[in-house]
Structure 1
Amino acid sequence: MAVKLIAVDMDGTFLDDEKNYDQERFFRQYQKMKEPGIRFVVASGNQYYQLMSFFEPIHEEISFVSENGAFVVMQGKELFSVDIPKRDVRFVMDELMRHTNISVVVCGKESAYVLEDLPEDVFVEAKRYYPRLKRVPTFHGVEDQILKFALACPQDKTRQLQELLHTKIGKVVTPVSSGHGSIDLIVPEFHKASGLQRLQKVGHIQPDEMMAFGDGGNDIEMLKHVKYGFAMENGSEEVKKAARYAAPSNNESGVLAVIEQYFAKVGPFKD
């Protein structure tokens, strides 16, 4: 069956370790995708405005499942956004403020927010993923629609912290790893796969007509949901176990290599 939708994670998947991709090669492929009407979707835990910047010439033609499914934009128009109730935001923040070894980003629809005392080097690093980022004296004064929370912690403490937060606040938000000491706190049942399902409904697309690529724990639902789920060679072991197929590493343009296989009808796509 022909593929009608291709979804890609960004960091560690579509982008190499220098945060670049082969634009000339991709845009040749994108023109091929347009001919049969294949939809291209960026599915990432990052901010919509950051993701959009990687695809300036076509950002109003493609779709974005950003903030791990909390903010879905199709062809320049909002399709869906999570709105975490203020009482739940306070409950989560009260728990997070107990932990002194983590940095917290509160991800809103209009901007992301960090505390004023965040070290400058950490702020600069966060700006790479959240171009709309504001310093605030306290999170409790933020007036925005809150989509999710993003945490940075020592990489060797990620699993332990993830399990602890699941115990403490798991009924309100689900901790998922996005790799390299990063944890996203997302509303249960709203993840990359649920974002894709919203796009499917609009486009009348079935899971066996979809291809997806990922490398981190926040990609697992998406890779399981589609017929052609590819774990990157550089991905975590849990992701490799969840995916049906494997792709070369992000530094080898693995996503683009597999898409070329699709058009050439070789590998998993051989008739």
Structure 2
Amino acid sequence: MIKLIASDLDGTLLQNGAQELTPRAVKLIHEITQKGIHFAAASGRQYDNERRVFHEIRDEISYIAENGSLCIHQGKVISRGVIPDGLVRRILDEIKKCPGFEIVVSKEDACYIEDNDKEFVNHIVNVMHNTTKIVDDVRDVEGPVLKIAIANMASHDMEGYLKHLREMFASEIKVVTSGHVWIDFIVPDCNKGTALMKLMELFGVRPEECIAFGDQYNDVEMLEAAGISYAMANAVPGIAEHADYVTDSVEDVLEEILRSL
């Protein structure tokens, strides 16, 4: 029997750039939690942002935020990971050498950005509705830092720069795509998979009793940690190889699960 379901948000539960859940998704997740099945939102987004997305049922679910650097259940931190201060500085110094990339430095209380690009600021503050603080230079933000993310809003070809960053930092930190214009730096030894395993341990759930959904490389460990995993049909190339099934819709699968209970 399924006892825990974890789903990525952007590109998975939220399709086509949506910033709100469909009424159907809210209804299905509520019904699932009422049946005693745990549900976890698993995203590169910040915790505050995830709670806004799930505002109608925000206290019914658990949260894996910042790509697994923060895991929270019923307001209690289950696990937390931070990037070493020296590594944060070296990453930010390197990114600053390449024009065109906007930087998000995430701490537990807020994400920190610079006011360089009005479109980017608007996206973070008014589209994503992140809890945000604007600073003159993100390199001046004091830790602990949970995640660093960079975006090039004008480019959908990130492969060359991603390769460069991996060559420089892959021995110290995981560098992954997290959407078409995003690259994330994930805390060493922390990812959505490790956070999901913390929740499985907390709830006494075996892997075969857990389902996960994802579409990006920051979902791989989560898909592999769950006993049953779904890659989205629109996932980036290679993700389906880490999943048991492919689906067009998380909602359809949730509906099937409810019918089977």
TM-score computed with the length of structure 1 as normaliser: 0.89
Cα distance, 1:262 vs structure 2 = 1.8
For the pair 1:149 / 2:144, whether they are aligned, the reply is no
Cα distance, 1:141 vs structure 2 = 2.2
Indicate if the aligned counterparts of 2:26 and 2:57 stay in contact, CA closer than 8 A.
Answer: no
In 2, Cα distance between equivalents of 1:137 and 1:32: 45
In 2, Cα distance between equivalents of 1:156 and 1:141: 29
Cα distance, 1:76 vs structure 2 = 1.8
Aligned length: 258
Aligned residue number for residue 163 of structure 2: 163
SS of the aligned residue for 1:237 comes to: coil
In 1, Cα distance between equivalents of 2:30 and 2:8: 20
Distance change (3 Å), C-alpha of 1:53 and 1:107: same
For the pair 1:212 / 2:212, whether they are aligned, the reply is yes
Aligned residue number for residue 223 of structure 1: 223
Indicate if the aligned counterparts of 1:148 and 1:187 stay in contact, CA closer than 8 A.
Answer: yes
Aligned residue number for residue 258 of structure 1: 253
Aligned residue number for residue 123 of structure 1: 121
Cα distance, 1:143 vs structure 2 = 2.8
Counterparts of 1:71-220 in structure 2 under 5 Å?
71-116=70-115, 118-127=116-125, 128-129=127-128, 131-153=130-152, 155-220=155-220
Cα distance, 1:199 vs structure 2 = 0.7
In 2, Cα distance between equivalents of 1:114 and 1:206: 39
Aligned residue number for residue 49 of structure 1: 48
Cα distance, 1:6 vs structure 2 = 0.5
In 1, Cα distance between equivalents of 2:129 and 2:175: 19
Deviation readout 1:178-230 (Å, 9 max, x if unpaired):
12121111123211101101111111111111111111111111112212211
Aligned residue number for residue 242 of structure 1: 242
The CA RMSD measured in Å over matched residues stands at 1.8
Counterparts of 1:8-87 in structure 2 under 5 Å?
8-17=7-16, 18-23=18-23, 25-87=24-86
Identity of aligned residues (%): 30
Which deviates the most, 228-237 or 151-160? 151-160
Give the gaps of 5 or more residues in structure 1.
249-253
In 2, Cα distance between equivalents of 1:34 and 1:47: 22
Which deviates the most, 104-113 or 164-173? 164-173
Deviation readout 1:157-189 (Å, 9 max, x if unpaired):
311111110111223321111121211111232
Cα distance, 1:44 vs structure 2 = 0.4
Indicate if the aligned counterparts of 1:47 and 1:129 stay in contact, CA closer than 8 A.
Answer: no
Indicate if the aligned counterparts of 2:150 and 2:184 stay in contact, CA closer than 8 A.
Answer: yes
Aligned residue type for 1:32 = E
SS of the aligned residue for 1:151 comes to: strand
Aligned residue number for residue 251 of structure 1: none
In 2, Cα distance between equivalents of 1:236 and 1:224: 16
Deviation readout 1:228-265 (Å, 9 max, x if unpaired):
211111111211222110111xxxxx111011112323
- Structure 1 segments, 4+ long, off by >3 Å, are 154-157
Cα distance, 1:9 vs structure 2 = 0.7
Aligned residue number for residue 5 of structure 2: 6
